[in-house]
Every structure is written in structure tokens, then in C-alpha cells.
Amino acid sequence: MTARPVVRVASGQGFWGDWLEAPRRQVEGGPVDYLMLDYLAEVTMSILQKQKERDPAMGYARDFVGAIESVLDSIVERGVRVVANAGGVNPTACADAILALANARGVRGRLRLGVVTGDDLLPHLDALLAGGHSLANMDTGAPLADVRDRVLSANAYIGSTPIVEALGREADIVITGRSTDTALTMAPLRHEFGWSASDWDRLAAGIVAGHIIECGAQCSGGNCLIDWQNVPDLANVGYPIVEGHADGSFEIVKHPGTGGWITVPSVKEQLVYEMGDPHAYITPDVIADFTTIRLEQTGDDRVRVFGVRGRPPTDSLKVSIAYRAGFKAVGTLVYAWPDAIAKAQLADRVLRERLDNLGLRFETILTEFLGVSATHGPLAGDGRDAPEVQLRVGVRSEDRRMVERFTREIAPLVLNGPPSVTGFAGGRPKVEEIVAYWPALIDKRVVKTSVEILS
Amino acid sequence: MRVRMLDLAHARSGDKGDTANVGVIALRPEWYELLVQRLTVDVVSKHFAGIIAGPVVRFELPNLGALNFLLHGALDGGGTQSLKTDAQGKVFSTAMLRLVLEVPDADAVRLGLPQV
């Protein structure tokens, strides 16, 4: 394909809501060939589906338009290509927004957009179910028919192949829907080095590269536990860049002069993040074996990754389905010393008795005492001398009215419950509809992706 | 001798549905074998008793000097359903590091373990 000995893929967003500064800093801070932007988490698709229901021109990560706006001149000038799963449930509308932006900025004739579609299974859901695809919940085994009437979105996780095709057709910006996070990084490497679809070790290496940088700065000093007090200049944290080689080995680096750090331990922390069985990191392209990964510090803020082994993937794709699953609300109050925890505990008992007397029934009531036991439970001790404790009570129910009524029971406690109470400035708790996640598998052969090039 | 996990390892945790994963990484390569021997499924299950509803599964990554634990039933349903502050299991990592291991004195001396 190309004679480029090193291909640089820079991570510019680790999730929808990540640092708006990062894409521009990645493109302008030094040499990069690709800018990789990951926007989608398990529940993001359902949020986007709701937006699309309200407005058919929505349903994609709007942040992406701002990100492209911030780098448009630079990527055109420097020839940096962009790969992003910002398309959500409406990649075509996302592409239209980018074209409109390019038009307004007078660079339209100089940009080719690749749009990957076919991951959206919602239009085919009933036909699939009728055809014997149960789309059973991977965790519980329940058939999708149980919640079919409440399904909001259904998207297959698709791999690198359509992105590689789009790059091969000279797209400057590739927009996908529910691509796997890791494919966004692997695809440019596969494209540049011409790795075949059965080059398991190299594909697996690309997946590992993707896993390391898909959460942005989380491998370069962000959320880094080891020696966290000494992570330099987090205010200017450098996002990670993969320097890939044709043999599948790569180095994780960041631009000079940026903060954070890239060390063997910081990369290890990211490698174990959201890990399942390390022997079988399953993707649509390849199964990567994380127990084969070798790491070596080869310079300041430079970690070499090599030795990665892979094997053929399964015949299935994972499907991310979102469905309506009732309502929830969370109320909080703060109790102060002395005996903060005892007061908060009494308030919880009083509240529960009142909910009970009102005849309210919930699927779950969960009480936490922030400052004492909310995150580590009884492991954290009794919190007897805590200067303050936040009482946090959450409820969940299929019946919205039950949850509404609960939200009216928090404020009264300020005047008719235990003393030394404050922290109610936020007002009454809000009722939220729960959009739950339903993971399933589907036969790969029924998912047809396609690539469209717009210019 | 009693040794704190906090002094032996660093960790990161995340979620998959209702399961929290905790990756525990030895601070020194020579301490990894000790973790393999002492930080067992049984020890971790007892540590999280009453906090998680399901079983604990352990995987070994000698290449990273790390163990990966899956704590099932840890997140009140997980994702958007969960009512927990830590619905995505982000700080199970440091909850794991609260664990205190019993280590034979000879091993502790040989490995240069920091004691409590």
C-alpha cells in the first residue's frame, strides 16, 4: 500500500463529553496521520435514538461537528484523516452536518467523506426475530421478545472492514455508526500496511493499540492511580498517539511539551480497564490474546508494545440493544457533625417509613451514605466521626407515579426530620426514564454494511 | 506478617453490564507470584462478601504482572439501571486495595514487602 514506515494514529476523544480541546491539540501539536475520535458507549446509542425520534436530522454525536470545526483547516492543510464513530444512529445526517460545515468554510471541494452504514438493525428487528434470531440477552438468556415493544435501538458492533474500504476509496473523514471502539484505530493501520483480513496477529495488535488509546488520556496519566501525586502537568495532559509499524508492533507516545505521562504502569492500567477474559478479547475482526502483550519503556513517554497474538473471530457479532425499563430518581441531603452518620441513618428510616405509609412500592430502594460507605461499603469503617455525610436514596419502579411521589418526600425532611441538615439547593429530585442495555449476539452473515463516499 | 494490597499493587476497575472488573497490577515484578498465591478467588470473595451478589472469577496475566477479577452482580443491575453512585464500578479498584494479606514472615522478608 504505502511506504510509510510509521503510521501515527492520535486519540482525540475517549467518549462523548470528553475534552473539547483534545482534537485540536492532537492535530496541531506534532505529526499525526490519523485522528481517531471515539464517541459511543453502551448507552449512548439509545440517547441518540431518542433524539432522532424527536428530530429526524439528529441522532449523532453533535460534539463531532465542533471537533471538526476546531481542526478543519489543520487537517486539510496537513492531510490528517479522521476516523470517528460519531454517526451514532444517523451517520448520514452526521455527514450532512460535516458537509455543511465544509461548505461554509470553503473547503468542501477538498474533502471526501466516507459514511459507513448497516449496523442499525432496528428496521429489520421483527424480520430477524421472525427468522429465528432470538437476540437473547447474553447475561440473562431471556429472549428479546420479552421486551420487544420497549426497544429503542438495536445496533450491531461492526469491525474494521468497511472503514478500511472507505480509506481505500480515499475518504478524508470516515464516519461510522456502532463501530467497535478498537476498530477505529486498527482500521487505519490495516489500511496503511495492507494487512489481510486473516493476518490474525497483526489485526490483534491493532486491536490492542485501539484498546490502549480508545479512552483518551486514561493511558497517559488521566485517572492514573500509580504514583498519582507525581503525574506532571495534568492541566495540559497529552492524549495518546499510536506509532504503528508494519509488523504489528507499535509505540504509545504523546506530543512533546504536553503533560501527563506514558509509562509501562500507566499503559498497564488502561490494558486491564473493562477487561473480561484476557485470553479472548473478542472483536468482529479477530480474537486478541491479551496474555501475549509485551511492554517495554523505550524512551521518555514512550512505551513499545509487541508480541501480540490473535486468532480467527467467532461467527457472531455483538448487538447493542436499548429498551425502556421504567423510571428512577435519586434524592440527597447532607447531615453535619456531630453524629452525622446517625442522623443520616435516622432520616433514611423516617423516609422509608413514610414511603411505606403512602403505599409506594418500588422495585428497588437503595440508600447510600456518601462520605462513609457509598463506594466501599462496610470495608470503609463506621464513619462515626465524619464531619458530614450525604444521605443518598434512589428508587426504581415501572410506575412513574411511584417515583414522582418519592421525589416529594425528600425536602420535607429538612424541617420534619433529624437535625443538622443542609445541601438541598438543587431542588426536588428529577424523575428519569431508564433506558437499559440488552447485549445480544447475531449471526454475522445477516449484517450487511455499506460504504458511501460523499464529496 | 500482614501486608496491605495498597502497598503491593495498583489497580483499575470498570464495568460490563452488572459485572465490575478489577485489574490488579503488582508494583514490582517479583511480587506478582505472591499475588497469584495469596490473592485468591476465595480471599477476594470474602473481602467483597455482602457488597457483591454474584461469584468472583480470576484470570492471570503474567505478561503484565497482573490479575484480572470479575466481580459479578456488583453494580445493582449496572449501566443506566443502577441506583449506585459507582454504577460503573470505577472505584472497586481501591476497594480491592483495602485488602490486607497474611504473608509468611520469611516470604515477606525475602520479597522486601512493606509491612503494615
Q: Does B61 sit within 8 Å of A374, measured CB to CB?
A: no
Residue A375 contacts B where some CB pair is shorter than 8 Å:
yes
Point out the domain boundary residue: A282, A314, A346: A314
> Chain B partners of A225 at a C-beta cutoff of 8 Å?
10-12, 93-94
**Cβ neighbours for A411, distance < 8 A, ≥ 6 positions apart:** A424, A428
Q: What percent of chain A has pLDDT over 70?
A: 99
**Same-domain status, A303 and A369:** no
Query: What's the alpha-carbon Rg for chain A, to the nearest Å?
Result: 24
pLDDT of res. A2: 53
Angle at A63 between CA A89 and CA A271, to 5 degrees: 80
pLDDT of res. A109: 81
Query: Per the domain annotation, does A329 fall within a domain?
Result: yes
**Same-domain status, A365 and A286:** no
Are A292 and A130 in contact by the 8 Å Cβ rule? The answer is no
| Model confidence pLDDT, tens digit, residues B5-55 | 999 999 999 999 999 999 999 999 999 999 999 999 999 999 999 999 999
The rounded distance, in Å, linking the Cα atoms of B34 and B39 is 8
A194: closest CA of chain B, how far (Å): 29
Sign for the CA dihedral angle at A235, B15, B96, A272 comes to negative
Point out the domain boundary residue: A297, A314, A331: A314
- SS3 for B33? helix
| Model confidence pLDDT, tens digit, residues A332-378 | 999 999 999 999 999 999 999 999 999 999 999 999 999 999 999 99
pLDDT of res. A295: 98
**Cα atoms in the 13 Å half-sphere on the side-chain side of A62:** 7
pLDDT of res. B116: 72
Name the H helices within A109-199: 125-130, 161-168, 183-193
Instruction: List the single best residue of B81, B91, B98, B100 to mutate versus A (max A Cβ within 10 A).
Output: B81
The rounded distance, in Å, linking the Cα atoms of B10 and B14 is 14
The rounded distance, in Å, linking the Cα atoms of A86 and A80 is 17
Enter the C-alpha cell of residue A278.
484476557
> Chain A partners of B25 at a C-beta cutoff of 8 Å?
226, 265, 268-269, 272
Domain that holds residue A406: 322-434
pLDDT of res. A161: 98
What is the overall mean pLDDT for chain A?
96
Angle at A308 between CA A304 and CA A311, to 5 degrees: 160
**Residue in this structure with the C-alpha cell 479498584, named with its chain if needed:** B93
pLDDT of res. A318: 97
Number of domains chain B contains:
1
CA end-to-end span of chain B, whole Å?
A: 8
The rounded distance, in Å, linking the Cα atoms of A272 and A276 is 9
Query: Per the domain annotation, does B49 fall within a domain?
Result: yes
Which CATH number does the domain housing residue A415 bear?
3.30.70.1130
ipTM associated with this complex: 0.96
**Same-domain status, A282 and A382:** no
Mean pLDDT computed over A264-276: 98
Number of domains chain A contains:
2
**Same-domain status, A172 and A275:** yes
**Same-domain status, A276 and A340:** no
- SS3 for A409? coil
Point out the domain boundary residue: A280, A314, A348: A314
Q: Does A271 sit within 8 Å of B23, measured CB to CB?
A: yes
Query: Per the domain annotation, does A131 fall within a domain?
Result: no
DSSP A124: G
Closest-CA residue of chain B to A289: B61
A436: closest CA of chain B, how far (Å): 6
The CA–CA distances, whole Å, from A15 to A12, A318, A405, B42 equal 9, 20, 34, 35
Query: Per the domain annotation, does A176 fall within a domain?
Result: yes
The residues that bridge with A35 in the sheet, in sequence order, are A10, A82
A210: closest CA of chain B, how far (Å): 17
> B-side interface with A, Cβ within 8 Å?
10-18, 21, 23-25, 27, 47, 50-51, 59-66, 68, 70, 76-81, 83-86, 91, 93-95, 98
**Closest to A355 in 3D by CA, of A338, A331, A334:** A331
Enter the C-alpha cell of residue A292.
501475549
Q: Does A436 sit within 8 Å of B64, measured CB to CB?
A: no
B42: closest CA of chain A, how far (Å): 17
Residue type at A194 in one-letter notation: G
Query: Per the domain annotation, does A333 fall within a domain?
Result: yes
Q: How many CB pairs under 8 A join A and B?
A: 125
- SS3 for A366? strand
Query: Per the domain annotation, does B90 fall within a domain?
Result: yes
DSSP codes joined into one string, A304-323: EEE--EEE---SEEEEEEEE
pLDDT of res. B80: 87
Q: Does A379 sit within 8 Å of B95, measured CB to CB?
A: yes
Are A256 and A299 in contact by the 8 Å Cβ rule? The answer is no
Query: Per the domain annotation, does A453 fall within a domain?
Result: no
The beta-carbon neighbor of B98 closest among A277, A376, A394 is: A376
Domain that holds residue B84: 2-111
The rounded distance, in Å, linking the Cα atoms of A42 and A319 is 10
Q: Does A274 sit within 8 Å of B76, measured CB to CB?
A: no
> Chain A partners of B74 at a C-beta cutoff of 8 Å?
none
